[in-house]
Homo-oligomer: A and B are copies of this chain.
Amino acid sequence: MSATFPPLAERLDGLQSSAIRDLLKLTSRADILSLAGGLPDAELMPRDRIAVAAAAALSDRSRLQYTESPGWGPLREVLATRESGRLGRTVPVDEVFVTHGSQQALSLLSEVLLDPGSLVVVEDPAYVGALQVFRAAGARIVAVPLDADGMRVDALRELLAAGERPAVVHTVSNFHNPGGVTLAPERRRELAELAQQYGFWIIEDDPYGELWFDRPSPDAVATYSPNVIRLSSASKILAPTLRAGWMVAPTPVCRAVELLKQGADLCGSALTQQITADLLADTDWLATHVDSVRKVYGERARALVSAVRDRFGDRVISTDAAGGMFVWVDFTDGTDTSALLPKALDAGVAYVPGNAFAVSTDYSHSMRLCFTTSEAAVLEDAVDRLARAHAAKA
């Protein structure tokens, strides 16, 4: 028997695991308070309601079978109703496509919208799951920085004026991962106008929009232009185990994605899709449930931001955490967050250094903190530990 295996594909050479994933493997020690995660809190997920829905789904044998590639019909109908409300127009079922989490939509869309060498504009710092699929598609990637109002659309306008012609502009429009910020309404309108003027697709990646704390998220970018492909997900409001993401897109895009979905994995699970449909259609229950998640995450977010501002004062600038799952912190005192990390781990706290999300901007003085899975007192303890590590570094 030969110990030498046949070769793997050459273009795999550059493929790397997510830096965050590798880091998380190191920070699962029981003595470390982790602000490095990116998971919703399983304690807040509606387990009992899911169990009821699972039992109901399994009363019908046809839920055991293969289902349609674009998603189980009744789930697409529930999503069409839901997105019609969100977008202020009647969204036909043909424009709704169910994916295995939003990540699959990003992956299939990168095949549908991009040829090798196509230009993709992303935000800096970027959602690394999007970056990974755009890179795998062989796209040329240019980043536009975020500020407190989200993507710097003025910087995008400059790129376009300089002759750049993106195929796709990707934005996490609400409560950005990792940046924590939300794209301002006037910038949404401006971004949509640029898409029409220059003929590019916008991927509006919106898994967090429902998780607002004080006031609802602004109107979706998709309300301003038909050039927008809107992604959302049940993972953050219900449970990741449902693996239910969805896309609202013009019919030709949905049909192209359908052909690729057949090759990618044939179809989703009729069982988890019926559970998802059941919970999303139960609108009174859903409103109460999402409110309860907002309330808990909001308390945690405020506790984290208060502790950071209290312990670090003017040595940091932190986002406000008006929703979502993340706070982004910039050190103003020259602290290098990659260099600080080993000391922080020694002090018993973990976070993700900003450069893990950097495309072309230097985020060596920044970090992402996640507030979803710890209670307020634990978050305060974690920030105390971080402050001790920071004080000891000098």
A residues adjacent to B (C-beta < 8 A) = 1-12, 15-18, 21, 39-40, 42-43, 45, 47, 50-51, 54-55, 58, 61-67, 99-101, 103-104, 107, 111-115, 118, 129, 132-133, 136, 167, 195-196, 199-201, 225-227, 235, 239-243, 250, 252-253, 256, 258-260, 262-272
Number of chain copies forming the complex: 2
The smallest beta-carbon distance between A390 and chain B, in angstroms, is: 30
**Are B5 and A252 in touch, CB under 8 angstroms?**
yes
Given known contacts A66-B39, A262-B17, is B6 in contact with A200 (CB within 8 Å)?
A: yes
**Are A241 and B263 in touch, CB under 8 angstroms?**
no
A67 cross-chain contacts in B, Cβ below 8 A: 241
**Are A2 and B259 in touch, CB under 8 angstroms?**
no
Give complex CA distance A357, B351 in Å.
53
Given known contacts A51-B58, A66-B240, A269-B243, is B225 in contact with A1 (CB within 8 Å)?
A: yes
Known: A5-B250, A42-B61. 15 other contacts (CB 8 A): A1-B196, A5-B253, A6-B200, A8-B253, A15-B260, A17-B259, A17-B262, A18-B262, A45-B61, A51-B55, A54-B54, A100-B265, A132-B263, A133-B263, A269-B272
The smallest beta-carbon distance between A66 and chain B, in angstroms, is: 4
Q: Pick the contact of A55 from B11, B54, B65, B250 — CB < 8 Å?
A: B54
The smallest beta-carbon distance between A360 and chain B, in angstroms, is: 21
Which one of A133, A241, A266 has the highest number of Cβ atoms from chain B below 10 Å of its Cβ?
Answer: A241
The smallest beta-carbon distance between A14 and chain B, in angstroms, is: 11
